[in-house]
Every structure is written in structure tokens, then in C-alpha cells.
Amino acid sequence: MSPVGLLFLTLFNSILGLSILFPILGPLGRELGLTEVQVGLFSTGYALMQFLLSPLWGRLSEKGRKPILLLGILGFAVSFLLFGLFALLGQRGLVSAGLLFPLLLLARLLGGAFSSATLPTAQAYVADITGREHRTAGMALLGAAFGLAVILGPALGAGLAAWFGLLAPVFFSSGIAFLNALFVALVLPESRPQGSQEAGHLSPWDGRVFPLLLLGFSLNLSGVALEQTIAFYFQDRLGLSGVETARSVGLALVLYGFVAVFIQGFLVRRFSWPPRTLLLLGLPVGILGFLLLVVAHGFPLLALGLALQGAGTALAGPGVTAALSLAVGEGEQGLVAGLNASAQALGRMLGPVLGTGLYRLSPEAPYLLGAILLLVALLALPFLFRRARI
């Protein structure tokens, strides 16, 4: 198997281990006596550590991708094992309620700290093993691995929880990560030349990358705001019960995910579109998806709007990542990948708060915001292309 294929499996396994937990964190938190705010802090803290540490891991990976990738996966595995053990002690009443939350939050912070090494190192790895003409296709394959894992992970997590209890997905995630680390150690080759030196410094305010980082942040902010509110929106627009909402939103999100995986895993790789083309296609499609969500009142149009937004993100996301990689030199790939991962984490951190806050003002507001952000980005593309020289 080619190094790109091996990296696809590595990233897929990493994201699968994380997405397995999506359906069980809420009910597990309630079972342990935690509040909704405390459960929400698990995700916020995780994203905060990724925002803070991704640039550091990207810089360290310039001396060697494989050790940093391995360290990130092993740290993720240990953190999830600790989370599961602390939760198990809480279930059995062996840890006081006052101590349980800090211990669980500590485990999540450790998970965010170490997992922040995975994505920027994987992106820099792709830059190492692909030529400039194939850079976009390689980045799209990483996006496909991410999307496929997000589709399959929640279903697997729900199944494990139904059969073996709410903690089974946590320990399963840790086990997957340990096996993934073994796979990386034994099979994945190093992509950096022997004796590579640690890179210097790349500022996020560097004119070559700042506009692209801002675009990536906007994409993630608008996408996460949508993800956090779409279930409420379906329920309110269609007048559904809780069970009906879960069924309808689940079906629409499966369509959303498969559209994204098809675009990134097949179309972008098949046609090798450059970043400029991906952004010029993806941003208008994403805008159309958001606007359709604003005006739709039936399930078919709501699902279509969600699918169009997913298609737009699937096109524009690899476009941003590849453009950032092409905007800097070969010795700055880890640095720019770290900054990119940090900008995305900031969007994931702020998106839930902004999305739900706007939803309380008006249900359509998060999607109008998404359309406006993408429209501003579309209008700014000529300036962005000149600054990044792509």
C-alpha cells in the first residue's frame, strides 16, 4: 500500500476512535451526575488544547513526522483509558462527585493536548510525499478519511453502548488507538529525510497564510454552528417528537456525510482540481445550502440544504488546506499545518456557543451567519489569491 493509503488508514482510525464517543457523552454524563454545562466543557476543553498546542506539534514534526504522529496517538489512547477508568470509578461510587468532574476534565484535556499532534502532522506528511500538482488530491483524501470516520463512528458507538453499556465505546476507542499506534510504528514509513532540522517560526499574521487561516476558521465556525443547532431546527421546523427528530436528522446527516466523502474521496482526487477551483466552486455551493436551510420547511428541502452545505465544505475545506501548503516553502509544512489545525480548533471551540446563542435569537440566524461568512470569503478570493500566490 502507498504511504498515502497508509496515512488514510491512520487518520481514519484516529477520528473513528473520537467519533465513537459522540452519541454517548451526553447520557454518560447524566448517569454520572454531571450537568449539561460540565459535559459541554469536555468538548470545549478538548478543542481549547488543540487550539493552543497544534502549532507546537506542527513545528516539532519538522524534525520527523512519524515520532510526533506516534506520540499523539499514544497520548490519545492513554487519555481515553484514563477517562474510562475515572468514569468507572464514578459509576461504582469510589470517587466523590466533587472529584469526579475534575478528573474527567483532566483526561479530556490530555486527550486534546495529544490528539492535536495528529492532524497537522498528517497534513505535513501529505505535503512531504506529494508534488505540488497532487497536493490538493492528497489533502482531500485526508478529508475523506475524516468524513468516513465521522459517519461510521457514532453508529458503532451507539451499537457498543446498547450491547455492552455506556463505557464500552470509551475503552473501545482507547483500544483502537493503541492498535493504531502499533500500526504506525510497524508499517508507516517516515516522510522526512534523516537529520531534518526543526523549523524556525511562521507567524499566523504572515501575509501568505493569514487570509487563508481566516477562511478556514470561518468555514469551521459556520459548519460547527450548523451541526450544533440542526437537530433543534429540524424539530422546530417539522414539528417532530424527540424520536422522530433523531431519525430525521440522522438520515439527513448520513446523506450529508456521504456527499462529503464522495466529493473528497473521489471527485477531487479524480479531477485534481487546484485550490482556486475548489474554493470558487465550494463557497457558492455552501452559500446556497445555508440559504436553502433558511427558507425550507419540509424534510426534502432541509435535507437538500444540508447536503449542499456539506458539498460546499467538502470542496472548500481541501482547497484551504492545499492552498496553505502551497503558499509556503517545503521546510514550513509542519508549521503551516499546525496553524491550520489551530484555526480549525478555534472555530470548533466558538461555533457551539455562537450557534446556539444565535438560535435563541432566531432559528434561522446561524445559517444566515454562515451564508454571510462564506459570501464575504467569496468576494475576498481575488485578494486572497494574490497574497498567497496560488
Q: Could you tell me the pLDDT band of residue 63, with boundaries at 50, 70 and 90?
A: confident
Give the tens place of pLDDT for each residue, 139-194.
888 888 888 888 888 888 888 888 888 899 899 999 999 999 999 999 888 887 65
CA distances from 152 to 12, 19, 121, 221, 370 (A): 10, 8, 23, 23, 26
Report domain 210-388's class: mainly alpha
| pLDDT for position 343 | 93
Only one residue has cell 473528497, namely 264
For residues 366-386, one letter each, b for 16 or more C-beta atoms within 10 angstroms of the residue's C-beta and e for the rest, the string is bbebbbebbbebbeeeeebbe
Average pLDDT of the residues in 300-309 = 93
| pLDDT for position 163 | 87
Give the tens place of pLDDT for each residue, 307-318.
999 999 999 999
> Which of the residue ranges 24-38, 129-143, 208-222 has the most confident prediction, judged by mean pLDDT?
208-222
Quick one: cell of 97?
Answer: 462527585
Contact 76, 13 (CB under 8 A): no
- Rounded Cα–Cα distance for residues 70 and 65 (Å): 9
What is this structure's pTM? Answer: 0.83
Q: Could you tell me the pLDDT band of residue 74, with boundaries at 50, 70 and 90?
A: very high
Quick one: cell of 24?
Answer: 454517548
For residues 106-119, one letter each, b for 16 or more C-beta atoms within 10 angstroms of the residue's C-beta and e for the rest, the string is ebbbbbbbbbbbbb
Angle at 266 between CA 265 and CA 272, to 5 degrees: 100
Helix (H, G, I), strand (E, B) or coil at 239: coil
Give the tens place of pLDDT for each residue, 231-251.
888 888 888 776 677 678 778
| pLDDT for position 193 | 67
What are the structural domain ranges in the chain? 3-186, 210-388
Quick one: cell of 343?
Answer: 484555526
CA distances from 201 to 52, 57, 67, 72, 268 (A): 16, 13, 20, 21, 31
Name all contacts of 287-296 with Cβ < 8 Å and 24+ positions apart.
287/312, 287/371, 287/374, 287/375, 287/378, 288/312, 290/222, 290/226, 290/367, 290/368, 290/370, 290/371, 290/374, 291/367, 291/371, 293/226, 293/233, 293/364, 293/367, 294/364, 294/367, 294/368, 294/371, 296/237
The third-level CATH classification (topology) of the domain covering 3-186 is Growth Hormone; Chain: A; (1.20.1250)
Q: What is the mean pLDDT of the chain?
A: 87
- Rounded Cα–Cα distance for residues 232 and 242 (Å): 10
| pLDDT for position 195 | 54
| pLDDT for position 196 | 54
| pLDDT for position 194 | 58
Query: If we measure between CA atoms, which residue out of 307, 358, 311, 327 comes closest to residue 207?
Result: 327
Residues found in the chain: 390
Which of the pair, 21 or 106, is modelled with greater confidence?
106
Contact 61, 118 (CB under 8 A): no
